[in-house]
Structure 1
């Protein structure tokens, strides 16, 4: 009598269970599209990097500067909050995803948001836990931008929010502003300047003992995933692409500084300089009176 033939179901093929592939979940992509996030810098960078095609060992190597412990903690945070999840490493699916990223790099990137006006836009900001100490003349914002029209536009909006705005357009201007006695409370940094790369400036500021903790938001026309990752790995607190909405920029600046927008709208007593004040900011009532 012939032997009995039985069928057994084999598990789905995977590349390596020891080196899994993670991708951002729908909640993770929504987190990136939400403009402001409470994730720390390492977790935010990792979430941007999770495209569903790279193994964890590859990502850990790319983020070696953060340290293994910080990387593991960031991954655990993303998984615990439902922002990332392991992906079945089906070879055909991964090959398809890689081709999709090459063919439609903007559409397939988590965290890249379609702009109604011009192509695509990115707006990611990490919220500071605590606001900076109040200053008598308002918080200081250094705007590094070589386009004089855009620079004036940003200056006006920040001045209306009570910031003392200082401008720089090139390497010499940056050095001059950073060497002033009062340390800035936030820096808005253009990625492309006439005589220096803004991403290089970012790393220089992060390495400076006096300026290393100042919130820095990149304000640039570069909207690729690689540029965002470069900024986050370099220590940026936020990334906003041009063209941008004035309200989005204001929210980004407030979040990066740790200011509460709701508190900022509360009325407060005026003073001799014609400013309405509360605990965290000042609203000028004398027009756009800026620092010399």
Structure 2
């Protein structure tokens, strides 16, 4: 085997494995066999992801070399294993846990319902919003120095009254407060941009939750397990779930399941004036102090 010797690493559930028997001229078949041997798996039981965020390594041409696939010395791969459940000695089925969107009602409290669902391991409580709104109002009121008019867009006391109203939508400020309260990283997966904004990223929390955002509405993202249970919290070191969350946004974007906030139609619920886009709504709020809007 010719070519430059490569030192490669593979992140697995059991830890990081080292591969040092391949060169730049080795092909993808050899890479897969090496990983299978080290991980103790058959080649059909796993997928290989590369780069960061990790993406599925295309193996359409198995005889292409590692160099042709831009695989360089020091490359770190991530192994995505598929679970095999054995029901009888002669019968087995394959099951792969699935990350998916859980739809919650569009009732102006979708953020609070989503976060509560994820923090309670999958309990849907449509009445949780009152307590969470009160929690946020109390947090803001206690720290009027940080939560000033420049941050809130209104006086501290006005904001507290506003967020207690069940028709008020939650957003960045509320997510930041909930992240600190629960001591968990909250990842907002934006459908339109397929970007993830991580609230609490700088706090080194050990766990994270994901919410999908379409421009005006939040839904929780959970993982369906083989026993019909759901997993809602994930390790902040789990890159695979992070990648899958982005994939959910990409699929939703292809289906155009997002709202264009620059051009969507709104109506002021105070004076009934029709408005177009977020900018007009902000200008109307500044001019009239009306802050309750509905989409139509």
Q: With the length of structure 1 as denominator, give the TM-score of the two structures.
A: 0.30
Bigger proportion of residues as helix? 1
Q: Which has the higher Rg, Structure 1 or Structure 2?
A: 2
Bigger proportion of residues as strand? 2
